[in-house]
Structure 1
Amino acid sequence: MSPIRSICVLLITAVAFLASESVAFAPVSSQISSHATSRATKPLMGLLDGEGERPSITRENEGEFFSTNTDKMSDEEKIPIALAGLAGISLPFIFGMVALYAAQG
């Protein structure tokens, strides 16, 4: 069996398997309609933050209004976050270059 033919057979098998499994966890349409009309939900405006409504912004509290937890951290606490971001962006490209170099040899 040639390599191209074996790759095509493997690809067709994978597509057929994934296509058959894609509807395995889909709910029955009768269940969707009965649950959708049976109860009304309250919109979540705060996205589950558990806080009340924030006070409106003024010039005096502008810096505090837009501050995040990362702004309150020291530089020593921020370094691991920055290194993780750089590694997350750089490592896939490095692994790709290694794979391409290994494929040439």
Structure 2
Amino acid sequence: MTTAPLTDEDAVTYASWFKALADPMRVRLLHLLAGEQHSMTVGEITDRLPIGQSTVSHHLKTLAEVRFVLAERHGTSTRYEVKSACLERFPAAVHAIMRQS
């Protein structure tokens, strides 16, 4: 079965996703947020991972830029959660890259 070639736009998007996941701590952070299934503050995340707040914030910014996580302001704090569409689209991207249906 032949699959459609990747569009230039999809190739750029998928490359940015994999680049964002190229850091093991970002993978762990995303894993934590996906497992919690609720939004968390930077402080809550810092309590669960062996890194400081500024590093967590930096990683969350990178994950938010590729829209893996969403940030929502609540008063003076920001809560972060995994974007549900990410959980659906990422596996489809892997299948498209590997030419699987």
Question: TM-score, normalising length from structure 1?
Answer: 0.19
Relative contact order (alpha carbons < 8 A, sep ≥ 6): 1 or 2 greater?
2
Q: Which has the higher strand share?
A: 2
Largest Rg, 1 or 2: 1
